[in-house]
């Protein structure tokens, strides 16, 4: 059997070499050479061909001649996963699930797959043994007589088992552990990840079998492997959250069959992942007494309204340079809000340490939380607690103005559902807003100094 021919190419300029080089002779960049296949073995066997062993040939069709078919979806018992995928698992789709080590990726997919009792499921693991998977399944306390486990890293062996079982769903844990015989490279390398992903994509499209792939991430938070891995799959899901907290967020980064604004929220328990139907009640801390430096923001995570508690602590600095520390919030956003309070409000934070925290371990990027963070900072600055029955929804501009936010009606409805009596919004959000539909008091403020006079 002739060996597959490969060459090394510079990912920066495209320079070709017969062996790996540390420094590119053309562009002088370091560690940019990756292995590429330039000639395959024509006798390579594909295990998902039809009974005749011949690949079906495609012919060009007119767009008007193509029938419009509704996507067939597998509805799982996990409502949060169904929401993130846009309504269920599409047959023939390939989904990439990435996240931090130990965040619960394997637990989530194992739990959801075990709950599909009517379908044959194949769980392929290259990282854990059969006994480890059995121990996790016993902890989940879910039985499925059609659930098969395969601990293998060779792609050819995996496809051989797939041809025998004809599963309705395939889970790969993880793509970085697989290796193809067509590539003479170590598992996890760029060439191996790309080749294995391409083979799984061809299998999914030709057999209409959905495939879930678990992927690793790098230390800076991006998905490990080549960027083409995210382009090849149909859906990219990011599983994120602080390991010291019980809550996890399943965020959709790419979805060819639905919206990328959806997300699912889970709570990690001893018996697996528990779906959180109303996350606002969990994210708001139930305190016995009212304390300063706390304000509630009516934010949005995707298409989902969330009421989030923001906490701030302002103290006198004992060092020469004041500290600015934020948890769950962009530090540059905190610097911007402090500059607005200094310039437009006349509050002197120059010699004070400032600490801001988003309760629950979440990381928030919604600019509508600016108003709540401003109020939490002022509450701690004056050491005057805010009423626990008010919340805020507004973006703060550089001139100290309160700017409008989107989907304000959903934010108001969520605040009213949780028992809040008053919400502060931008006056530009009042246009077209019918207050008679809400029992909650809606107050519009246009400037930061105006809000300060109303609250303190």
* Higher-confidence position of 186 and 379: 379
What's the CATH code, domain 73-275? 3.40.50.300
Establish whether 100 is an annotated binding residue. Answer: yes
- The tokens for 299 are 């934010």
Q: Which long-range contacts (CB under 8 A, 24 or more apart) does 280-288 make?
A: 280/305, 280/306, 280/307, 280/308, 280/414, 280/418, 281/418, 282/247, 282/360, 283/307, 283/308, 283/309, 283/359, 283/360, 283/362, 284/308, 284/309, 284/359, 284/418, 285/309, 285/359, 287/388
Q: Which residue has the tokens 């004056």?
A: 382
Establish whether 126 is an annotated binding residue. Answer: no
* Higher-confidence position of 385 and 15: 385
* Higher-confidence position of 14 and 142: 142
**Helices 448-455/370-382 angle, 10° precision:** 50
Q: Which of 395, 337, 346, 344 is nearest to 367 (CA)?
A: 395
The pLDDT of residue 361: 74
Separation of alpha carbons 167 and 155, rounded Å: 16
> pLDDT of 314-353, one tens digit each?
999 887 788 999 998 999 999 999 999 999 888 888 889 9
Establish whether 99 is an annotated binding residue. Answer: yes
- The tokens for 286 are 């139930």
Across the range 84-113, mean pLDDT stands at 92
The pLDDT of residue 54: 47
Across the range 162-183, mean pLDDT stands at 90
Tell me the helices (H) and strands (E) count for the chain, helix number first.
Answer: 11, 23
Please check the confidence at residue 213 and state whether its pLDDT lies above 50.
Answer: yes
Please check the confidence at residue 398 and state whether its pLDDT lies above 80.
Answer: yes
3 state DSSP class of 128: coil
Establish whether 299 is an annotated binding residue. Answer: no
Question: Quick one: which H or E segment has residue 409?
Answer: helix 408-417
Please check the confidence at residue 406 and state whether its pLDDT lies above 50.
Answer: yes
> pLDDT of 219-233, one tens digit each?
777 888 778 889 999
The pLDDT of residue 94: 95
| Residue 263 β-bridge partners | 251
Please check the confidence at residue 263 and state whether its pLDDT lies above 70.
Answer: yes
Q: Which of 410, 419, 411 is nearest to 439 (CA)?
A: 419
> pLDDT of 194-206, one tens digit each?
889 999 999 999 9
The pLDDT of residue 444: 92
> pLDDT of 273-314, one tens digit each?
988 887 777 777 666 678 899 999 998 877 788 899 999 999
**Residue 1 burial (CB < 10 Å; 0-12/13-18/19+)?**
exposed
Percent of the chain with pLDDT over 70: 93
The pLDDT of residue 42: 47
- The tokens for 78 are 């996990």
String of DSSP letters for 352-400:
EEEEEEETTS-----GGGHHHHHHHHHHHHHT-PPPTTEEE--EE-TTS
**Residue 145 burial (CB < 10 Å; 0-12/13-18/19+)?**
exposed
What's the CATH code, domain 282-455? 3.30.230.10
Establish whether 101 is an annotated binding residue. Answer: yes
**Residue 131 burial (CB < 10 Å; 0-12/13-18/19+)?**
exposed
Establish whether 436 is an annotated binding residue. Answer: no
Across the range 142-167, mean pLDDT stands at 92
The pLDDT of residue 123: 95
The pLDDT of residue 38: 61
Length of the chain: 456
> pLDDT of 37-89, one tens digit each?
665 554 444 545 543 344 556 788 888 888 877 778 899 999 999 989 988 99
């Amino acid at each position: 059997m002739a060996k597959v021919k490969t060459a090394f190419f510079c990912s920066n300029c495209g320079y070709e070499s017969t062996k790996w080089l540390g420094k590119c002779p053309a562009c002088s960049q370091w560690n940019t050479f990756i292995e590429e296949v330039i000639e395959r073995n024509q006798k390579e066997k594909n295990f998902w061909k039809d009974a005749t062993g011949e690949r079906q040939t495609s012919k060009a069709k007119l767009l008007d001649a193509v029938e419009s078919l509704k996507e067939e979806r597998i509805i799982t018992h996990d409502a949060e996963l169904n929401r993130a995928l846009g309504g269920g698992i599409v047959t023939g789709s390939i989904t990439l699930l990435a996240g931090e080590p130990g965040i619960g990726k394997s637990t989530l997919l194992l739990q959801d797959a075990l709950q599909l009792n009517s379908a044959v499921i194949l769980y392929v693991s290259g990282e854990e043994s059969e006994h480890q998977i059995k121990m996790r399944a016993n902890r989940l306390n879910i039985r499925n007589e059609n659930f098969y486990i395969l601990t293998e890293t060779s792609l050819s062996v995996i496809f051989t088992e797939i041809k025998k079982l004809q599963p309705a769903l395939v889970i790969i844990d993880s793509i970085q552990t697989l290796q193809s015989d067509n590539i003479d490279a170590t598992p996890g390398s760029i060439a191996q990840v790309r080749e294995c992903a391409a083979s799984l994509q061809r299998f999914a499209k030709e057999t209409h079998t959905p495939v879930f792939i678990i992927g690793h991430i790098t230390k800076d938070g991006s998905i490990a492997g080549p960027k083409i891995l995210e382009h090849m799959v149909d859906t990219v899901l990011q599983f994120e959250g602080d390991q010291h907290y019980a809550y996890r967020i399943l965020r959709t980064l790419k979805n060819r069959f639905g919206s990328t604004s959806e997300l699912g929220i889970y709570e990690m328990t001893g018996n697996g992942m528990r779906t959180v139907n109303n996350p606002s009640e969990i994210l708001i801390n139930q305190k016995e007494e009212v304390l300063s430096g706390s304000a509630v923001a009516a934010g949005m995570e995707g298409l989902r309204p969330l009421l989030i508690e923001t906490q701030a602590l302002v103290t006198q600095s004992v060092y020469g340079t004041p500290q600015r520390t934020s948890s769950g919030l962009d530090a540059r956003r905190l610097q911007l809000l402090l500059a607005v309070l200094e310039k437009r409000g006349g509050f002197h934070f120059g010699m004070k340490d400032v600490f801001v925290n988003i309760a629950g371990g979440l990381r928030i990027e919604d600019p509508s939380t600016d108003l709540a963070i401003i109020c939490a900072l002022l509450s701690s600055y004056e050491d005057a607690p805010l009423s626990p029955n008010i919340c805020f929804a507004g973006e703060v501009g550089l001139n100290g103005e309160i700017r409008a936010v989107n989907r304000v009606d959903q934010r108001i409805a969520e605040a009213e559902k949780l028992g809040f009596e008053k919400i502060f919004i931008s006056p530009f959000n009042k246009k077209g807003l019918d207050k008679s539909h809400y029992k909650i008091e809606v107050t519009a403020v246009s400037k930061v100094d105006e809000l300060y006079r109303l609250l303190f």
